[in-house]
Chain A
């Protein structure tokens, strides 16, 4: 499984950080506009100076990025330190993607970036110019939508207990099936080993991936 971004991904050619750092922003100013089929969200997601204002605060380096998340286009000025995971959770309100270790070791934050499995905690959001991101919320967006076959298989096989690793397991499983790494249980085990389930539902995860892959 790949936890790296596609090779074509390069840092955006934004203004140099040194110039950006001179700017002053008001924290979390939001403007929303509907364009075409998707929604362009223009935000300023860079922290401003301390409201206490006793010392002149340095504004952190930031960059502008446009990316598509679950079919919706977002354009934002982003603190360069922000991971894709924190962008999704803290700024776009997509809390389905989970933070387990914030270090690429557990897989709880697995999402698809341009169709490939990525640990969102290791991906800096500003590097994702033009990227198509799919999160768990993108598999069955509406409350009454049909579930993705793998979501359905997770329920039927009881492939989770606490459910915290589940969004990552499912996104990883979608990737695993798409990659064709489902030839045998052993192969599924190997290619699903980047996603820790501390409740220990591995046997059921394998069955669920097998079920969804078989039903394709």
Chain B
């Protein structure tokens, strides 16, 4: 056998495109006759528009049109259940009425021949409002009815528990802040709409545009070959996508709309702020008896956004009694959306901080405490785990990180002015799979083209799919071209939730397996083939050559086979449809952090981190490392820096820019390391993967918070952990 592509530390197949500036992101696509749009956002958070004066904007050189609810056509806004639009409530209908539901809501759009004129024009549109006092504070606003879960009798068990802890953890709103702003270019050709869009789901955007404009999905094509990061923000088609398409139709010209950095804070989603009240009871040896989770999260007044914040509390640790209530609080804000490790990351901050608090209370090592509460099955519903190797993550992580050097007593290690601490936390994320398809085409030269309508927001979809396809087809990586990001390609689920590899990768595997078998069948049935009469099961393909496994000399190339049979191509459509799960399937990780805290200034610096992951098979180790280290960097942001600040007097976000909304920069990031447990999970997916991109972020913030506690003896239950909190 030739060396396998899967598991080899390959560089990205699109690396050259990306380092030369030739990779095409949404706003990069050249479009003849394109004009530019700039959105006017509301300056109140709640109320009605009483007047719009666009005369000054229209008088500006280059300005072509100003569109608002006063002159916009009515749009269909059909229901679109196959989307990430929340089930409860109704999406914002742009320019359809005079209502203002949040600060920064699009109330008009200016279209002009240049971006400068559009932007200047937008600043000249005068909008008058009848404003009401908005409600934007999670604390003190009435909540929706809760989503609940219970097993045993948690309240009763709490009363009899030998050890009881009660804490409230708070997390702030975080914005995805991918470096690429959301952007859309829209063009109508008669009744057909083409958009170049920043999206994690071309099929999702296609369906949403069809629903909004009341046209058939086939009349909409969405193209998105490169996505400049997204972390969840591209899982829905936001109002600006509609605005671009609407403006293009009204002007009968292609329109480019790039949201400003400021507009991204109100024009796209975010990780909602939470208040997570947790009570736990255990015995004196640290065996958990009960947990009661009362969870509140922000949502908008018009849509009820919910995410998977409950799962970890039900299955991460063994205990007989659990009660959970998850309430969303409708506020005069735009709707949140999934952000890396959605729900799970928030739950991990509360639960993993609480475990650390219990460990300290009982004077038990935090890892030992977790071992004592490791379940043998998923106690949420009694299903067995497909694979769950958290214990190994702890053992390996402790050894590699030097956990034995950690003095148990907090505030006992110093380095000059710096207090040094070590912390760890577990992370868990649901393994998701959804139906996916992939087209595989082998041409007469023996090269393969594999296509699926998936995306690559950074993990390296093109590279990893190429590796899977190369091995399944018996080709070198160079002979495989994987393409994505076009709604005319075979449909796939959204590129998010760590489901791309498991879902699309399995469809690619299936399509390539079918094609390889098809070629082998053709050869063994062909009297002129050296493989004629061979058992198909004995034939393998290596470097594009079909041969008998035990007799490699007997064979021929794909090229020879196709030429002799007058075939210009072989083509298959691979598919993956997940079976009803019989197992509890999750990806797991353990994150270790060492921090230094300046005892006078309260500054926190992360000194080193290690993540150990149980995520099934690793397809592309070099890229996996980037994803894992990137997840840790994101976690440093959540733990220490990121905080969207709203002025509750008027509902305005006051730090809607990258100078005041802090994200980690190079100087914030020390050496980081990731380790993956060898193995695969065939229950999770035919190719053995469980999903990596989310779990690497989950558990990072609590590991850092626990390290801060170990360094200082101060327990900070609110993120981000700032210098002020430590002074």
Residues of A near any B CB (own CB < 8 A): 27-28, 45-52, 54-60, 79, 81-82, 86, 89-90, 93-103, 105-106, 108, 135-137, 139-140, 147, 151-152, 154-156, 158, 160-167, 170, 188-190, 192-206
Contacts and interface: CB of A to CB of B under 8 A. Distances in A.
Given A156-B11, A202-B633, A205-B666, 17 more contacts: A27-B113, A47-B113, A60-B60, A81-B120, A86-B116, A90-B114, A94-B21, A95-B24, A96-B21, A98-B180, A135-B21, A155-B12, A161-B626, A164-B178, A190-B667, A196-B665, A200-B631
Contacts of A165: 179, 228
A108 B226 CA distance: 16
B525 interface: no
Contact of A47 (B11, B117, B667): B117
Given A189-B669, A202-B666, A206-B666, A93 B30 contact: yes
A98 B179 contact: yes
B115 interface: yes
B22 interface: yes
A154 B19 contact: yes
Contacts of A52: 58, 64-65
B114 A55 contact: no
A199 B460 CA distance: 12
B658 A101 contact: yes
B210 to A, nearest CB: 27
Contacts of A57: 59-63
B258 interface: yes
Nearest to B620: A158
A215 to B, nearest CB: 16
B226 A200 contact: no
A79 B116 contact: yes
B443 to A, nearest CB: 22
Interface footprint category on B: 35 or more
Given A50-B64, A155-B16, A198-B179, A162 B227 contact: yes
Interface string B473-516: 00000000000000000000000000000000000000000000
Nearest to A205: B666
A188 B667 CA distance: 9
B29 to A, nearest CB: 8
A96 B627 CA distance: 23
A206 B669 CA distance: 10
Q: Which of A94, A192, A203 has the most chain B CB within a 10 Å cutoff? A: A203
Given A95-B24, A137-B20, A201-B630, A102 B260 contact: yes
A86 B112 CA distance: 15
Given A81-B120, A95-B28, A189-B669, A162 B180 contact: yes
Contacts of A48: 61-62, 113
A206 to B, nearest CB: 7
A116 to B, nearest CB: 19
Contacts of B227: 162
A200 B61 contact: no
B629 A200 contact: yes
B264 to A, nearest CB: 10
7 contacts: A28-B113, A60-B62, A60-B117, A162-B180, A162-B457, A163-B228, A164-B228
Interface string B626-655: 110111111000000000000000000000
Interface string B1-15: 000000000011011
Contacts of A197: 179, 666
